[in-house]
Amino acid sequence: MTETSLREDLQNLPRTDPALDRLVEEIIGRVADKWTMLLIEILTEQECCRFGELSRACPGISQKMLTQTLRAMERDGLVTRMVYPVVPPKVEYRLTDLGLGLSKAFCGVWLWAEANFEKIEKARSDYAAKAAVQDPS
């Protein structure tokens, strides 16, 4: 596929009405966030996870953010939350079909990032070099 035809493809996406656009943008803003993406990836790799497992699989996340993100995902219908009334508590999370669909959609972005990280790093060092020449502090 040439670059020109690709651009045409993208330009020919169905244009919807503005209200719908804003809704879709809101959803993307909500869903395209670091922790959500990471959790979706983890839950794609391992279908069923407890809170502690997710916490360990997601290095750097705080309990607070983990709870918060999982709640938002549950609210949006991306994960199910199974609470077992036992002690100590046990809660299992898994992706819904909707969540799995998002996982599949976002997969393209992961692949892009994996395929292009070298170009991005090069762009960054080029930019830094250029800035250093123009502004030798």
Partner DNA sequence: ATTTATACTTACCCAAAAGAGAGTATGGAG
Partner DNA sequence: CTCCATACTCTCTTTTGGGTAAGTATAAAT
Is the bond preceding residue 136 a cis peptide, omega within 30 degrees? no
Which residues here bind DNA, judged by CB under 7 A? 33-35, 50-52, 60-65, 67-68, 70-71, 81, 87-91
28-47 mask for a copy of itself (x: CB under 8 A)?
xx-xxxx--xx-----xx-x
d(CA 5, CA 56): 44
According to DSSP, residue 44 is labeled H
CB of 100 vs DNA, minimal distance in Å = 20
Q: Which of 29, 136 has the CB closer to a copy of itself?
A: 29
| 74 sits near a copy of itself (criterion: CB under 8 A) | yes
d(CA 23, CA 127): 35
Query: At which residue do the structure tokens 């407890």 appear?
Result: 50
What is the spatial order of strands in the sheet that 48-50 belongs to?
A: 48-50, 90-95, 79-84
Contacts with a copy of itself, residue ranges (CB under 8 A): 3, 6-7, 10-11, 13-14, 16, 20, 23-25, 27-29, 31-34, 37-38, 44-45, 47, 74-77, 97-98, 100-114, 116-117, 119-124, 126-127
